[in-house]
Amino acid sequence: MTTTVIDNIGLLVTNDPAFGHLTAERRDAALVIENDRIAWIGDSRHAPDADERVDAGGRCVIPGFVDSHSHLVFAGDRSVEFEHRMAGHSYGAGGIRSTVAATRAASDDTLRTVAGRIVEEMRAQGTTTVEIKSGYGLTKADELRSLVIAREFTDETTFLGAHVVPGEFAGDPAGYVELVAGEMLDACAPHARWIDVFCEGGAFDVDQARAILTAGRRHGLLARMHTGQLATSGGVRLAVEMDAASVDHCTFISAADVDDLAASSTVATLLPGAEFSTRQRYPDALRLLNAGVTVAIATDCNPGSSFTSSMPFCIALAVRELRMSPAEALWAATAGGAAALRRTDVGLITVGGRADVVILDAPSYVYLAYRPGVPLVHRVFDSK
Ligand SMILES: [Zn+2]
């Protein structure tokens, strides 16, 4: 058994709901880590001895980020598509198909290397929990291997066979829905915790999404959804109806959608990296927060519409473009992400909880937005 004390913490963000206030901050604090768990939190002056002492030097300490939405199992490069989009061409769901072709052609080792490199990037930027989706295979075999590879990096794996209808089913979308909800799901379910559908024009409509999510539930998978990225649809209502843990994007949603979300336990996960990278309108975070909706922020890291692995960058966007306060954005990127994964053991620093702890190279988490693009992660403690 080894113990580590981190003392001389200028500002400790615990997010502990027992303290009432959103981020539950303490000044001049210390904490003790014992075997990957938090064993003690208190005043730095009263910090106990431990095997190892880490002097935080007055820095800010926060819970590790919980990135609840990413697509890391892929091959290929879409930088040219990005360049064209920045030159004024429009974004549609179809670009996904070019990644599908590259992913199908790639070896397992290539896919593993790409995913592993991005997970390392994320960790270096303070992310200690990540959800990873399939969705660039779109055959039974390729979705299966995508999930097997994703599981090597996280338990939070999501079957997204319903990402788009692949080219070979262009004339028979109903046949593809049948495959996803049938044979593909049978093969993939043992390797996934979640099932997700891209419910959007050009991808899947509400009835198709309902059929797929319902089939997933029969296999014990929990629902989450992509919807409202490009237009308003009935996707949010369906997410609430299906008791989805999270409905992601929520840029285009109706007043009734906001009311439905506020009355539900479904989290609205905002992905401002996608709006940044596709030059679309940003979601209205304050409308959701003011209505009492639980809001999370995630990267949506993927090679097409949001190729950032940085939660600090997404926090900066949430503050600058979504008008969230720095405290709201930090909470959304930690405890909010945990809620979007229906987890209570991550996204906070509490005695007995996991020691997923980030020391920022800054006196306050406000710096995450105040100094955008600057590496501010001093040290990461990861319980896994
Ligand atoms: Zn996504």
Task: Name which of 12-21, 202-211, 268-277, 331-340 the model is least confident about.
Answer: 12-21
pLDDT reported for residue 228: 87
The rounded Å distance from CA 152 to ligand 1 centre is 20
pLDDT (tens digit per residue) in 53-107: 999 999 999 999 999 999 999 999 999 999 999 998 876 555 788 999 999 999 9
Q: Which of 161, 179, 175 is nearest to 96 (CA)?
A: 161
Q: How many CB atoms lie within 10 A of CB 371?
A: 14
Does pTM top 0.95 for this prediction?
Answer: yes
268 DSSP assignment: E
Range(s) within the chain of domains with CATH label 2.30.40.10: 3-64+347-381
Q: Superfamily for 3-64+347-381?
A: Urease, subunit C, domain 1 (2.30.40.10)
Note whether 34 and 48 are within 8 A (CB). Answer: no
The rounded Å distance from CA 197 to ligand 1 centre is 10
* Range 235-261 average pLDDT: 96
pLDDT (tens digit per residue) in 259-314: 999 999 999 999 999 999 999 999 999 999 999 999 999 999 999 999 999 999 99
The rounded Å distance from CA 130 to ligand 1 centre is 13
- Specify the fold of 65-340: TIM Barrel (3.20.20)
pLDDT reported for residue 91: 61
pLDDT reported for residue 94: 59
The rounded Å distance from CA 265 to ligand 1 centre is 20
251-281 in b/e form (b: 16+ CB < 10 A) is bbbeeebbebbbebebbbbbbbbbbbbbebe
The rounded Å distance from CA 105 to ligand 1 centre is 22
| Residue reference for tokens 């001895």 | 49
Range(s) within the chain of domains with CATH label 3.20.20.140: 65-340
Helix axes 108-124, 140-151, angle to 10 degrees: 40
